């Protein structure tokens, strides 16, 4: 079927401007297929159902909107006291000097940009594969674009239980930077890894994470998207779980003109657990803030548990979006699915748009979802103030209280408290 003209035009214009990296090696086939998918689907348009609340215009545009890098030297870098394996990208370009040696016991580490140098069997099998699966039943054209044109990314094959986290640090310095990165993580049977991501990748970025989590394996994923006001981010994670596997993903977003975070989770083995959580705080006083979490969880196995916990604190006209779906296939009995999306509006100008969905074909499942929009609780505020806590501080505590449920999804309590400190600092900067 031919694409509608605006879609066709947007897609043609973008494709005309992009070209495959030169030395694609083993990734060439997957990239070509992704170009095919993209041509077939076309880039998203505001009329598309899946983009009703968030305009894809800035993600589609040939040139990115400029975004001034933010000076964040007022904060010590996250995880500074922790022994991690650090991999640094500046405006989406790998920086060897700032990175640790890419060697860690229990993990094979490679880079997508080196695909031309040696064939990496496992990566070739996986690269673009979960993304392609994730196009059904809902199309995600920006992720196909990512697979086709990604300039680099981290490829991790985890075979052991690794205690030292792998930390990907993004540094945004160039106001005109436009980055496409694609990471692939494969956890073999019983393996475990903590993957940390922090910072804004570029003025505009499109990132994909494909995570293949085999039987009994565990992936902890904690991401902070940086405080930059103007940056525009389209991200997607695709997680596929075997049996008895665990996936825990948490994202903190502070500000950002435009953020679309998609999560696609698929349970293929029995008795697995996947939790995806997000805390977003936005103050649109000086710059716009639009934050969209879009989640799709497919249960296709027995007794799996999924949790979606997404909360947003919106201020001075910030906009929050949540689209979350739990699909339970016919044979996925004893599924336990939970989804909550909530917003705390700190004024009348901010707004929250939510579209929670359940689609259930099995008859013996427990699934629940809820979505709320509210203001600061006056009783709680009075309680705190009556103990002497000044109003502004009391409101901050109640914001942290509101977000607490998302932070509980981070298993490592030290990481959770570092994130909580960041939230607190953000609140202090955005007081009043």
Partner 1 sequence: MLEIKNLHVKLEEEDKQILKGVDLTVEAGKVHAIMGPNGSGKSTLSYVLSGRGGYEVTDGTATLEGEDILEMDPEERAAAGMFLAFQYPVEIPGVGNMTFLRTAMNAQRKARGQDEINAADFLKLVRAKAKELQIDADMLKRPVNVGFSGGEKKRNEILQMAMLEPKMCILDETDSGLDVDAMKLVAQGVNALRDENRAFLVITHYQRLLDHIEPDVVHIMSDGRIIKTGGPELALEVERNGYADLLAETA
Contact footprint for partner 1 (CB under 8 A): 377-380, 382-391, 393-394, 397-398, 400-405, 407
Give the nearer residue to partner 1 in terms of CB position, either 71 or 378. 378
User: How many separate helices (H) and strands (E) can be counted in the chain?
Assistant: 9, 19
Pair of tokens at residue 393: 């501080």
* HSE-CB for 275 with a 13 A CA cutoff: 17
| Closest distance to partner 1 from the beta carbon of 418 (Å) | 16
How far is the C-alpha of 329 from the C-alpha of 343, rounded, in Å?
30
| Closest distance to partner 1 from the beta carbon of 251 (Å) | 18
| Closest distance to partner 1 from the beta carbon of 419 (Å) | 13
Cβ–Cβ < 8 Å for 322, 310: yes
Give the nearer residue to partner 1 in terms of CB position, either 234 or 394. 394
| Closest distance to partner 1 from the beta carbon of 309 (Å) | 12
Give the nearer residue to partner 1 in terms of CB position, either 361 or 383. 383
Give the nearer residue to partner 1 in terms of CB position, either 5 or 387. 387
How far is the C-alpha of 326 from the C-alpha of 276, rounded, in Å?
12
Give the nearer residue to partner 1 in terms of CB position, either 328 or 416. 416
State the CB neighbour count (10 A cutoff) for residue 54.
23
Sign of CA pseudo-dihedral 391, 401, 294, 177: positive
Give the nearer residue to partner 1 in terms of CB position, either 360 or 389. 389
| Closest distance to partner 1 from the beta carbon of 340 (Å) | 13
How far is the C-alpha of 270 from the C-alpha of 332, rounded, in Å?
9
Residue 29 CA, chain-centre distance (Å), reads: 26
| Closest distance to partner 1 from the beta carbon of 77 (Å) | 25
Give the nearer residue to partner 1 in terms of CB position, either 87 or 398. 398
3-class secondary structure, 283: strand
| Closest distance to partner 1 from the beta carbon of 398 (Å) | 7
- Distances in Å between the Cα of 387 and the Cα atoms of 375, 378, 392, 397, 399 are 21, 14, 14, 13, 18
Whether the bond between 137 and the residue before it is cis, its omega within 30 degrees of 0, is yes
């Amino acid at each position: 079927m031919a694409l509608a003209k605006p879609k066709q035009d947007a897609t043609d214009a973008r494709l005309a401007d992009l070209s495959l990296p030169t030395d694609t090696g083993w990734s060439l086939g997957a990239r070509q297929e992704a170009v095919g998918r993209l041509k077939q689907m076309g880039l998203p348009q505001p009329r598309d159902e899946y983009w009703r609340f968030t305009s894809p215009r800035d993600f589609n545009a040939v040139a990115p909107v400029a975004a001034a890098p933010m000076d964040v030297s007022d904060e010590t870098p996250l995880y500074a006291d922790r022994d991690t394996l650090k991999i640094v990208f500046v405006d989406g370009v790998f920086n060897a000097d700032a990175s640790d040696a890419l060697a860690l016991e229990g993990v094979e580490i490679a880079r997508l940009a080196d695909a031309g140098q040696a064939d990496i069997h496992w990566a070739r099998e996986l690269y673009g594969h979960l993304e392609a699966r994730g196009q059904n039943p809902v199309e995600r054209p920006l992720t196909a674009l990512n697979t086709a044109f990604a300039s680099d990314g981290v490829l991790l094959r985890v075979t052991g239980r690794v205690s030292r986290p792998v930390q990907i640090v993004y540094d945004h310095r160039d106001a005109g930077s436009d980055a496409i990165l694609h990471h692939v993580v494969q956890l073999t049977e019983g393996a475990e890894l903590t993957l940390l991501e922090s910072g804004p990748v570029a003025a505009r970025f499109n990132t994909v994470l494909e995570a293949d989590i085999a039987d009994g394996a565990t992936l902890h994923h904690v991401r902070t998207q940086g405080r930059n006001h103007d940056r525009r981010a389209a991200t997607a994670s695709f997680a596929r779980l075997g049996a008895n596997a665990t996936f825990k993903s948490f994202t903190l977003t502070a500000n950002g003109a435009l953020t679309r975070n998609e999560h696609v989770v698929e349970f293929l083995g029995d008795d697995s657990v996947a939790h995806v959580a997000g805390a977003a705080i936005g103050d649109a006083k000086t710059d716009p803030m639009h934050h969209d979490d879009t989640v799709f969880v497919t249960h296709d196995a027995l007794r799996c548990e999924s949790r979606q916990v997404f909360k947003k604190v919106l201020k001075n006209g910030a906009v929050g979006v949540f689209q979350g779906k739990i699909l339970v296939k016919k044979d996925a009995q004893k599924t336990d699915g939970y989804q909550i999306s909530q917003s705390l509006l700190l004024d009348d100008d901010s707004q929250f748009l939510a579209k929670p969905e359940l689609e259930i074909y099995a008859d013996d499942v427990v699934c629940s979802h809820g979505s709320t929009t509210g203001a600061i609780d006056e009783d709680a505020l009075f309680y705190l103030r009556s103990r002497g806590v000044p109003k502004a501080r009391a409101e901050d505590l109640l914001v942290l209280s509101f977000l607490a449920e998302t932070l509980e999804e981070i298993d490592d309590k030290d990481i959770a408290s570092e994130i909580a400190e960041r939230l607190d600092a953000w609140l202090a900067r955005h007081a009043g």
